[in-house]
Amino acid sequence: MSNFKRGLDDEFIEALQKEAEKGGWWRDVLADPSLVLAIRDAYLNVYWLGQSIFKIRFAQNSLAVSTHAKYLLNPSLSKQVKFDGDKFYLGDLEASALVRDYVSSGETLGKLKKAAAVYANGEKIGVHSIVTSNPSVVDVEIALSAAGYEGVGKLPRMDIAAFERAEHAARLVFWEAKLFENNELRANNGDAAVVGQIAKYRSMIAAHKKSLLSSYTRVAANLSSLADMSLGARSVPDFVREVGRGSRTLTLSDPADIGLIIFGFDQAQRDHAPWQKHLGGLRAVVGDRIRTSGSPKGINI
């Protein structure tokens, strides 16, 4: 039985609207389109380079917001700390080492982003660049449960979910993004690992089809509401809005459309004969839904 669910209810959206009208931290988040807003099951993640710098829930008629302690380390610290071989003497740094108060107009948000960037790897940074340059993206880090399905095992999260315009409809598609150096792209004594990964994704997407379509219809409405409360800082394509308000149907192909994005290589690596052979094997499985680029910037999905 499918347990996939995404979406925020009307009361949650109303509470976010009221918070936006106050100014402060949420207004700063909405005004920064470089941040990715990911709708979950009754909560919201705010991502920077794959790191969730805010987690927002709605409980007891109010917003409940949290962040990870590691993002509160003040990145502007510069003072030397005395060390005697056994102990570090922080002195008055103990009072300023962590960000304690939120200052709006981007000051504190900028510090959180700078602290979070330390934990981002190349693949996460690339995915973030792709997501923020493609307004039809509706979700990131999509986890599908394979519990109760034999031979699937635990699946890693899919990187991207997006809508594609279709005649009188919109199509839900998924994308896996990998650095060129990732060995999962290469066939060694059999198919490349990513081939089996995509096959399992397709199986689980088919199993969760009904809940995926209903969830992402709701997500489309949520993202439209968030864009509206951003006062123009964020945009949602018209056909995504139409899905959210029910005037355009969301569809899902069988088998599911899963694309592969490969980035992070130079010309010599791209033209290397062994790699071209691996790429040919990937194209045989994924078809035309492969995007390759030395840089993730400008990749269009």
pLDDT in tens, 16-69: 999 999 999 999 999 999 999 999 999 999 999 999 999 999 999 999 999 999
For residue 259, being part of any structural domain is answered with yes
> Side-chain half-sphere of 147: how many Cα atoms within 13 Å?
6
What is the pLDDT confidence band of residue 185, given thresholds at 50, 70 and 90?
A: very high
What's residue 2's pLDDT?
58
For residue 86, being part of any structural domain is answered with yes
For residue 3, being part of any structural domain is answered with no
For residue 53, being part of any structural domain is answered with yes
pLDDT tens track for 246-288: 999 999 999 999 999 999 999 999 999 999 999 999 998 888 8
Average pLDDT over residues 79-104: 89
For residue 5, being part of any structural domain is answered with no
| pLDDT of 144 strictly over 80 | yes
Average pLDDT over residues 68-73: 94
What's residue 103's pLDDT?
94
Which class for 128: exposed (0-12), middle (13-18), buried (19 or more C-beta within 10 A)? buried
Average pLDDT over residues 186-213: 91
Residues 219 and 43: beta-carbon distance below 8 Å: no
Lowest-confidence pick of 1-15, 38-52, 147-161, 237-251: 147-161
Radius of gyration for the chain, computed over Cα atoms and rounded to the nearest angstrom: 21
For residue 222, being part of any structural domain is answered with yes
* Count of domains for the chain: 1
For residue 301, being part of any structural domain is answered with no
pTM attached to this predicted model = 0.93
| pLDDT of 148 strictly over 90 | no
Lowest-confidence pick of 23-37, 113-127, 138-152: 138-152
Residue/partner pairs of 140-145 with CB below 8 Å, 24 or more apart: 140/36, 140/38, 140/47, 141/38, 141/47, 141/50, 142/174, 144/4, 144/201, 144/204, 144/205, 144/208, 145/3, 145/4, 145/204
| pLDDT of 164 strictly over 80 | yes
* 269: containing domain: 10-293
For residue 67, being part of any structural domain is answered with yes
